[in-house]
Amino acid sequence: TKWVYTFGDGKAEGAAGMKNLLGGKGANLAEMSNLGLPVPPGFTITTGVCTYYYANGNAYPPELAAEVDAALAHVGTLAGRRFGDDANPLLVSVRSGARASMPGMMDTVLNLGLNDVTVAAVATAAGDERFAYDSYRRFIQMYSDVVMGIDHHHFEEILQNYKDDNGYSLDTDLIADDWKTVIGKYKAMVETEAGKPFPQDAHEQLWGAIGAVFGSWMNARAITYRRLHDIPESWGTAVNIQAMVFGNMGETSATGVAFTRNPSTGDKRLYGEFLVNAQGEDVVAGIRTPQDLTEVARIEAGSERPSLEAVMPEAFREFVAICDTLEAHYRDMQDVEFTIERGKLWMLQTRSGKRTTKAALKVAVDMCGEGLITRDEAILRIEPGGLDQLLHPTIDPAAERVLVAKGLPASPGAASGEVVFNSEDAVAAKQAGRRVILVRIETSPEDIHGMHAAEGILTTRGGMTSHAAVVARGMGKPCVSGAGSIRVDYAAETLTSGGITLKKGDIVTIDGASGQVLKGRVPMLQPELSGDFAKLMEWADASRRMAVRTNAETPADARVAVRFGAEGIGLSRTEHMFFDEGRIVAVREMILADDEKGRRQALAKLLPMQRADFVELFEIMHGLPVTIRLLDPPLHEFLPKTEEEIAEVAKGLGVHPQKLRERADELHEFNPMLGFRGCRLAINYPEIAEMQARAIFEAAVEAGRKTGRPVVPEVMVPLVAMRQEFDLVKARIDAMAAAVAKEKGTTIDYSVGTMIELPRACLMAGQIAETAEFFSFGTNDLTQTTYGLSRDDAAQFLGPYLQRGILEQDPFVSLDQAGVGELVRIAVERGRAVRPKIKLGICGEHGGDPASIRFCESVGLDYVSCSPFRVPIARLAAAQASI
């Protein structure tokens, strides 16, 4: 095995494609050398050595020392110096570099090779004593800190005391003799702290630093970072050793960092900062205020401090040309680090620059226009989940924030409004034209109308999959959940946290992207859906195979979804229409009636409302497909709970409240999720399904006449486990379609299918497909029933499961492809075997999750359906899945 790869002088043993072996930094240093760019010579010790080191009780491969010596000699020849030489010493930097950039690893050590003797030689060679001793003191501090574990504050204290005693304020005030004195104090302190003197031998220094890099792969920070970012331990880190160049050799030297384009806007303009007479991390450390690279940026910022363009025009021009070369070569925006030594430019790092979603879109679209990348590449460059950032208002980053509390970032976007503590107040305020934030300890299905009326939702209990979080995401409303430090007093109508009390009517702002709860109205930025976003989405639409539909039942949601590009409705949950004000009473009458006649009377009141809902929905969808699911939830969810509600319903029904309480008790279920719900309702109370079918078909006829674009309704039967169940309900639907067609004197085009959400349905998909015309995978329930766990109760153990790695992902967020996915595959296969043209889709949370969407593409579903605000994400993810 080869353990060491050299680079420099226009060539390299490595290349950009060798990141696994050389780490990101090493591979790109090699690539830049191969491109003939000015890179100080150096070499990379491979990640293989790291792996070997940990597999062999912290020992190095026996050949390593010789390979390092040979590489050092080679670098010395290129640099015209010798490592460890007293008269003409080669100084190096030691830099860690994993495959993926990884904070938590060892910090870089600069100026290694300096000691009490070589510092004098460097001073003479450079003709600059101050520079040499400034470099030495930096080296002692860095090395002692990262290799010997002596905290910086010891050094900072010594330096500060020295400055105070001598009346200095800036580091640049110190002259060579000052640094000599400070260095003496540093060394004495190191000896006391470490119990041994600061190492003077260059080779001992070098191996100390190499050991520290490999050791840092297993430090606590690095381990945590790897766990959070799914980086395997087996990858290991590489070590880069590189000849030093000096940005601290006086006024013609400088060091800086730059992005080849603006990383927050994507504008095609060089963006960066530098410092004259400085080294390494000085620019980002904030010790001095850095200067802008370009004149344009300087003028825009109104800065008095001259730009690089002005002070070192030649080096600047070369730098601009190199940035162009790098972009053209890597075909992506680069983040680079450079140093200028006495007017000569050196490149020290390049990598793909991190950017905001907005910038990512602009860069991808622009680069496609510049001919650097293809459309497909542009599509693949955008992380679909990141689009979320663009679709909601966000808090102006420049705004001041007064933090009240912090909860979970449950649903993105930001909103401001008056605090209200119950849904009735939310609805009343909305009707009066005011904006509110609904604050609850937790929410339940009865809060739906309040959540609809509110601009955003804040809860003090519950996680990312709590009712509030799921519903808010579905509605595309900002939500902060589980803000545990907030105490809500419903009676007094106040919330208190961190010494701040807000009462009903006070203004609060929630940031669903960060989980922050802020006092007052905070300025926001509105989403921009045209321009680069629109163009990239157009490209994505052209290259995807699957259709993207939305889960929507309210006109507002349907409109948003159409605006976001939905191509139909994949799931319209009729029960959500039942919770609306003015309906819930009739629904309760229907449920509590104790015979069919009573139920039919109540249903007759619901029919016109339900029909009107569908007419509106069909008009908005304008001929696009709409899947409507028959009533699904257990009936008790609609029951009156408070005495007031019971009295109201009793009056409407003309019965005694006591009778209602008894009926409610009868409907109580031990396990409603697996209880009297779904098609089981339609089979036992066919009149409910009949009313819904009539509403659907009458609405289809009416909307078709109004718009001239008839909707073809897809009627969906929920929770089917057996073909007989489906057939019984389908017979009622078909009969109703025939009846309505006859009454209206027209034909009605429609289809009847089922939601596949029980394991048995997946297994029996062949039989079910004999009569069902479509399948829609209800993966929320299918996940619950496959795992045998209830989503509403899962928070307590799913969290620990995820932390301990028993589960890699929350199966309600990203589809469990191995288990639940296997059932989907079986159902697809068996369904298609019987009915080759059967229409297949997915609804439920997973329909908006990019990884799950990739799975849907792989099993060949016809469409995915997701909540309105995830439609653009799904369009992009579906395109990426089919490229």
Catalytic residues: 467, 843
Shortest distance, CB of residue 245 to ligand ADP, whole angstroms?
Answer: 5
Positions 755 through 774 that interact with Mg ion (CB under 5 A): 757
468: left (phi over 0), alpha (psi -120 to 50) or beta: alpha
Opening angle at CA 593, ends 590 and 594, nearest 5: 140
Q: Is residue 698 within the footprint of Mg ion (CB under 5 A)?
A: no
Q: Is 95 or 573 the residue whose CB approaches ligand ADP more closely?
A: 95
Opening angle at CA 261, ends 260 and 264, nearest 5: 135
Q: How far apart are the first and last CA of the chain?
A: 37
Alpha helices in 708-835 (DSSP H): 723-744, 759-763, 765-769, 779-787, 795-803, 820-834
Shortest distance, CB of residue 310 to ligand ADP, whole angstroms?
Answer: 22
Look at the block and give the residue holding tokens 């990101």.
Answer: 24
Shortest distance, CB of residue 42 to ligand ADP, whole angstroms?
Answer: 7
Stretch that binds Mg ion, among 216-224, 231-239, 489-497, 780-788 (CB under 5 A): 780-788
Look at the block and give the residue holding tokens 């905001």.
Answer: 356
Give CA–CA dist 883/880, Å, rounded.
Answer: 5
Look at the block and give the residue holding tokens 């730098």.
Answer: 319
Q: Is 242 or 481 the residue whose CB approaches ligand ADP more closely?
A: 242
Shortest distance, CB of residue 257 to ligand ADP, whole angstroms?
Answer: 7
Q: From the list 781, 816, 845, 857, which residue makes contact with Mg ion (rule: CB under 5 A)?
A: 781
**Which residue type, as a one-letter code, is found at position 808?**
E
- Say which entry of Mg ion, ligand ADP, none residue 348 contacts (CB below 5 to 8 A, set by partner kind): ligand ADP
Helix (H, G, I), strand (E, B) or coil at 91: coil
Q: Is 337 or 619 the residue whose CB approaches ligand ADP more closely?
A: 337
Give CA–CA dist 102/87, Å, rounded.
Answer: 37
Q: Is 19 or 732 the residue whose CB approaches ligand ADP more closely?
A: 19
Q: Is residue 282 within the footprint of Mg ion (CB under 5 A)?
A: no
**Which residue type, as a one-letter code, is found at position 311?**
V
- Say which entry of Mg ion, ligand ADP, none residue 281 contacts (CB below 5 to 8 A, set by partner kind): ligand ADP
Within its chain, how far is the Cα of 757 from the centroid? 28
Shortest distance, CB of residue 221 to ligand ADP, whole angstroms?
Answer: 13
- Say which entry of Mg ion, ligand ADP, none residue 856 contacts (CB below 5 to 8 A, set by partner kind): none
Cα dist from 492 to 386, 420, 428, 487, 489, whole Å: 40, 12, 19, 11, 6
Q: From the list 248, 279, 349, 550, which residue makes contact with Mg ion (rule: CB under 5 A)?
A: 349
- Say which entry of Mg ion, ligand ADP, none residue 585 contacts (CB below 5 to 8 A, set by partner kind): none
**Which residue type, as a one-letter code, is found at position 203?**
H
Please name which of 257, 254, 288, 282 lies closest in space to residue 272, comparing C-alpha atoms: 257
DSSP code for 82: B
Give CA–CA dist 9/325, Å, rounded.
Answer: 17
Shortest distance, CB of residue 104 to ligand ADP, whole angstroms?
Answer: 11
Contact 365, 532 (CB under 8 A): yes
The alpha carbon dihedral of 6, 9, 10, 16 has a sign of positive
Stretch that binds Mg ion, among 141-149, 499-507, 749-757, 826-834 (CB under 5 A): 749-757
Stretch that binds Mg ion, among 38-46, 80-88, 332-340, 787-795 (CB under 5 A): 332-340
Positions 134 through 173 that interact with Mg ion (CB under 5 A): none
- Say which entry of Mg ion, ligand ADP, none residue 326 contacts (CB below 5 to 8 A, set by partner kind): none
Size, binding site for Mg ion by CB under 5 A? 5
Alpha helices in 455-583 (DSSP H): 467-475, 531-543, 555-563, 574-578
Instruction: Write the burial class of residue 827 (CB in 10 Å: 0-12 exposed, 13-18 middle, 19+ buried).
Output: buried
Helix (H, G, I), strand (E, B) or coil at 620: helix
* Site of interaction with ligand ADP (CB under 6 A): 40, 93, 95, 108, 110, 242-245, 255, 280-281, 337, 339, 348-349
The alpha carbon dihedral of 404, 409, 412, 418 has a sign of negative
The alpha carbon dihedral of 480, 486, 491, 493 has a sign of negative
Shortest distance, CB of residue 515 to ligand ADP, whole angstroms?
Answer: 29
Shortest distance, CB of residue 109 to ligand ADP, whole angstroms?
Answer: 9
Shortest distance, CB of residue 142 to ligand ADP, whole angstroms?
Answer: 10
Going by C-beta distance under 8 Å and a sequence separation of 6 or more, which residues neighbour residue 84?
A: 90, 113, 201, 202, 203
Contact 28, 5 (CB under 8 A): no
Q: Is 6 or 242 the residue whose CB approaches ligand ADP more closely?
A: 242
- Say which entry of ligand ADP, Mg ion, none residue 425 contacts (CB below 5 to 8 A, set by partner kind): none
Contact 621, 711 (CB under 8 A): yes
Q: Is 6 or 349 the residue whose CB approaches Mg ion more closely?
A: 349
In terms of residues, how long is the chain?
883
- Say which entry of ligand ADP, Mg ion, none residue 781 contacts (CB below 5 to 8 A, set by partner kind): Mg ion
757 is in an annotated binding site: yes
Q: Is residue 778 within the footprint of Mg ion (CB under 5 A)?
A: yes
Q: Is 95 or 467 the residue whose CB approaches ligand ADP more closely?
A: 95
- Say which entry of ligand ADP, Mg ion, none residue 95 contacts (CB below 5 to 8 A, set by partner kind): ligand ADP
629 is in an annotated binding site: yes
Helix (H, G, I), strand (E, B) or coil at 551: strand
Alpha carbons within 13 A on the beta-carbon side of 345? 23
Going by C-beta distance under 8 Å and a sequence separation of 6 or more, which residues neighbour residue 56?
A: none
- Say which entry of Mg ion, ligand ADP, none residue 290 contacts (CB below 5 to 8 A, set by partner kind): none
Alpha helices in 167-292 (DSSP H): 176-194, 202-216, 220-228, 282-285
Q: Is 615 or 630 the residue whose CB approaches Mg ion more closely?
A: 630
Shortest distance, CB of residue 28 to ligand ADP, whole angstroms?
Answer: 11
Give CA–CA dist 326/322, Å, rounded.
Answer: 6
Please name which of 413, 372, 378, 412 lies closest in space to residue 537, comparing C-alpha atoms: 378
791 is in an annotated binding site: no
Instruction: Write the burial class of residue 808 (CB in 10 Å: 0-12 exposed, 13-18 middle, 19+ buried).
Output: exposed
Shortest distance, CB of residue 560 to ligand ADP, whole angstroms?
Answer: 43
779 is in an annotated binding site: yes
Residue facing Mg ion at closest CB distance: 781
Stretch that binds Mg ion, among 345-353, 610-618, 798-806, 822-830 (CB under 5 A): 345-353
Helix (H, G, I), strand (E, B) or coil at 573: strand
Q: Is 74 or 605 the residue whose CB approaches ligand ADP more closely?
A: 74
- Say which entry of Mg ion, ligand ADP, none residue 41 contacts (CB below 5 to 8 A, set by partner kind): none
Opening angle at CA 428, ends 410 and 525, nearest 5: 45
267 is in an annotated binding site: no
Q: Is 115 or 692 the residue whose CB approaches Mg ion more closely?
A: 692
Q: Is 42 or 456 the residue whose CB approaches ligand ADP more closely?
A: 42
- Say which entry of Mg ion, ligand ADP, none residue 572 contacts (CB below 5 to 8 A, set by partner kind): none
Residue ranges in contact with Mg ion by CB under 5 A: 337, 349, 757, 778, 781
Q: Which residues are annotated as a binding site for Mg(2+)?
A: 757, 781
Q: Which residues are annotated as a binding site?
A: 573, 629, 757, 778-781
Q: Which residues are annotated as a binding site for substrate?
A: 573, 629, 757, 778-781
